[in-house]
Amino acid sequence: MVATKAVIPRTLALRDIEDAVDYYAREAGSRVALGYIEDLQHAYELIASHPASGSLRHGYELGLPGLRSLQFKRYPYLIFYVEQTDHIDVWRVLHAKMDIPAWLQNPGS
């Protein structure tokens, strides 16, 4: 049995998720929006049990050691997070086509 850590999204991450769900519900319907939430939950389960599975690329590029990203399976979104001793700190959940460095400039929020 693999130990899992609590996944705790920051306020900005929750806003990112809400915006994406609203967008999909409005533009593509509730099934697509629910699929996004399902994909998010699967990604959360993966990083909760295997925190090192995310890529360090963006953290390296931005000079933020420990910042990892994990892409959703079916949707073009990335979860940005840092593993803490007792939880996973989710910073942002951003569309993969965004200017990622600009969106991560304020990690303290």
- Per residue in 20-29, pLDDT tens? 999 999 999 9
Residue with tokens 């920051």: 10
83 within some domain: yes
CATH of the domain at 28: 3.30.2310.20
How would you classify residue 31: left for phi > 0, otherwise alpha for psi between -120 and 50, otherwise beta? alpha
Domain span at residue 78 reads 6-103
> How many of the other CB atoms lie within 10 Å of CB of 27?
9
Angle (nearest 5°) at CA 79 between 73 and 82: 135
1 within some domain: no
Contacts of 97 (CB under 8 A, 6+ apart): 76
Q: Measuring CA to CA, which residue among 70, 80, 59, 88 is closest to residue 12?
A: 80
Per-position pLDDT tens, the chain of length 109: 667 999 999 999 999 999 999 999 999 999 999 999 999 999 999 999 999 999 999 899 888 899 999 999 999 999 999 999 999 999 999 998 887 777 676 554 4
Q: What is the pTM assigned to this prediction?
A: 0.90
Structure confidence at residue 62 (pLDDT): 85
Using the 8-state DSSP alphabet, how is residue 11 labeled? H
109 within some domain: no
Number of domains within the chain: 1
CB 87 within 8 A of CB 8: yes
